[in-house]
Structure 1
Amino acid sequence: MRKPELASAIAEQTGLTKEKAAEVITAFTDQVSAAAAKGDDISLIGFGTFSVRKREARTGRNPQTGATMKIAASKTVGFKAGKALKDAVSK
């Protein structure tokens, strides 16, 4: 499902216009991005938790040449599904 399809589904369920639903989705993603950029976790009970994870620096290998290379430390966002989401998917 892409953003326009999600906006349509939300609009249908809530009675909002598709444009307003798209604004809500954009506001949600903006807030999640801002919180993650600050290093905060975002917990939606039953749905899941977005959290910032640190990756240590490591040595990798270039798949084309086979040469070793250093991969710098970095941060990424992880998602851990909540119980309600896991239950919905496993049905």
Structure 2
Amino acid sequence: MTKAEIARIVHERVGLTKKESAEIVESVLDVIRDSLERGENVKVSGFGHFMVREKHARRGRNPKTGTDITIEPRSVVTFRASPLLKDKLAEATE
């Protein structure tokens, strides 16, 4: 699903204009993105939890050449679905 599809659904369900719906979707994603950039976790009740994790430097191997390399430390975002979302997904696949 794309941002445009989400905006279209917001437009259909809420009745805002397409432009307003797109702005709202973009605004919500900006808030989430900005929070994650600051290292803050984002919890959306009933949906899930976006968490910023710090990965330490580690040894790796270049798959092309086979030479050993050091993978630099970095921040990554992980997502953990809420139990409510997991239950809904399980029901949908039954």
Q: What TM-score results when the alignment is normalised by the length of structure 2?
A: 0.90
**In 1, Cα distance between the equivalents of 2:8 and 2:37?**
29
Question: Which residue matches 2:17?
Answer: 17
Deviation at 1:47, TM superposition (A): 0.5
Confirm or deny that 1:59 pairs with 2:76: no
Aligned structure 1 segments of 4 or more residues deviating by more than 3 angstroms = none
Q: Give the unaligned 5+ runs of structure 1.
A: none
**In 2, Cα distance between the equivalents of 1:51 and 1:82?**
13
**In 1, Cα distance between the equivalents of 2:57 and 2:36?**
21
**In 1, Cα distance between the equivalents of 2:67 and 2:37?**
33
Q: How many residues align?
A: 91
Tell me the SS of whatever aligns to 2:40.
coil
Question: Which residue matches 2:48?
Answer: 48
Tell me the SS of whatever aligns to 1:52.
strand
Q: Give the unaligned 5+ runs of structure 2.
A: none
Q: What TM-score results when the alignment is normalised by the length of structure 1?
A: 0.93
Letter of the 1:36 partner, please give it: L
Tell me the SS of whatever aligns to 2:26.
helix
